[in-house]
Amino acid sequence: MAIIPLPLKAGGRIAVISPAGPVGEDETKRGVEFFERLGYKLDLMPHALMTGNQSYLAASDTDRAVDLEQALTNDRYDAVFCTRGGYGSMRLLPLLNYNNILKKIKRKPFVGFSDISALQWALHDRSAWITWSGPQLARGFGGEDRGEGFGGLDRFSGECWMDALQGRMWGKVLPMPEGKSLNVLRDGLNLLGPILGGNLAVLAALCGTPFQPSFAGGIAVLEEIDEPLYRIDRMITQLSQSGVFKGVRGILLGRFVQHVQGEAVDLNAEAAEIVMDAVPGVPVVTGAPYGHVGPCWTLPIGAEATLDLKQKTLTLEKRQS
């Protein structure tokens, strides 16, 4: 049975971790201050700010794994927020004691995105724990203030995040940005299954490891940023040839964006064509507001949802407890 996170407790204490790449002090401070103004208490775990020797990792694998496991299992904390993604989460997967985590997590919300997809898959696969995939404390709320009431986030992304974490999203149709709708490229029956997926590159990197994902019985949601088309093709092909898509009920594509001379160029149509070719006979839907570029949903990885291909909606099933 899935472990469904409780709503974010008002005034609760939040552990802040950096299980992947290093993060700047300024953006972390802005993110912390945003939530402190809302009445939350935030504790930076010992290695949340860069303490390691590798320029692309926040700290050593052991230190980051200890921070993560202590944040997840310590009753002091009501939720766990990641500062950012980057790279390094998959290095922690063999170091975690999943039995210990399963016994002690107390259904607390865990929020991460991008590289954190590796941890979210492992926690779902090994502990049946539903985690939130969405904007993060530093690379998100801690960005330069947009003046829309959610720090560095646009209003749509911020409201979706709050609705998700505070338990208002269960049993509801997920909203779409004004003037936008989902686009059904390959039709079929309405789909009911757990939301699985995250960042394409991270999930592809798990192929051939003991943590290789499987989308069987689920709705695969994928997004990517700053990868050329041939690499998107290679990663989709890798997932397909590794059997990750075997038994998938449908595929929902978020944003595929590449920055060219400072401008964000959508590769959504091209990525969808690659998916259609690599995964025949399965419903494919595009246009999900999910990715590195907002507006963005916050999605519960592992939670049951219905993808209605006629109404072009995604609905989270009601929280069971």
Q: Which two tokens stand for residue 116?
A: 């954190």
**Rg value, the chain, Cα:** 18
21 and 150 assigned to the same domain: yes
Q: Which two tokens stand for residue 89?
A: 């989460």
Residues 262-273 as b or e (16 or more Cβ within 10 Å = b): eeeeebbeebbe
pLDDT in tens, 264-293: 889 999 999 999 999 999 999 999 999 999
Count of other CB atoms within 10 angstroms of residue 199:
26
Q: Is 312 exposed, middle or buried (0-12, 13-18, 19+ CB in 10 A)?
A: middle
At residue 195, the pLDDT reads: 98
Instruction: For residue 6, tell me if it sits in a domain.
Output: no
Which residues are known to be catalytic? 114, 223, 292
Give how many domains the chain has, as a whole number: 2
The reply to whether 2 falls in a domain is: no
pTM: 0.96
The answer to whether residues 252 and 245 touch, using CB atoms and an 8 Å cutoff, is: no
Mean pLDDT by 10 residues, the chain (321 residues): 91 98 96 98 96 87 97 97 98 96 90 98 96 98 97 98 97 98 96 98 99 98 97 99 98 96 91 98 98 97 98 90 57
pLDDT of residue 106: 85
Do residues 114 and 211 share a domain?
no
The confidence score (pLDDT) of residue 261 equals 84
Contact 317, 174 (CB under 8 A): no
Write down which residue in 166, 198, 213 finishes a domain.
166
Range of the domain at 247: 172-316
CATH of the domain at 153: 3.40.50.10740
Question: pLDDT tens across 212-227, in order?
Answer: 999 999 999 999 999 9
**Together in a domain, 21 and 156:** yes
Looking at 166, 184, 214, which one is the last position of a domain? 166
312 and 179 in a single domain? The answer is yes
Asked if residue 195 and residue 113 are part of one domain, the reply reads: no
CA distances from 252 to 188, 192, 275, 290 (A): 13, 13, 10, 10
| Residues 152, 219 within the same domain | no
Dihedral sign (CA 181, 130, 3, 142) = negative
Question: Where does residue 105 rank: exposed (0-12), middle (13-18), buried (19+ CB within 10 A)?
Answer: middle
Backbone angles phi, psi at 33, to 5 degrees: -65, -35
The residues, ordered by sequence, that sit 6+ positions from 320 with a Cβ below 8 Å of its Cβ are 4
Does residue 239 sit in the same domain as residue 280?
A: yes
Cα separation, 86 vs 263, whole angstroms: 21
Domain contains 235: yes
DSSP per position, 230-293: HHHHHHHHHHHHTTTTTT--EEEEEEEEEEETTEEEE-HHHHHHHHHHHSTTS-EEE--S-SSS
| Domain closes at, from 166, 195, 212 | 166
Residue 5 lies in a domain: no
Kindly state whether residues 41 and 154 are assigned to the same domain.
Answer: yes
**Per-residue pLDDT, 1:** 78
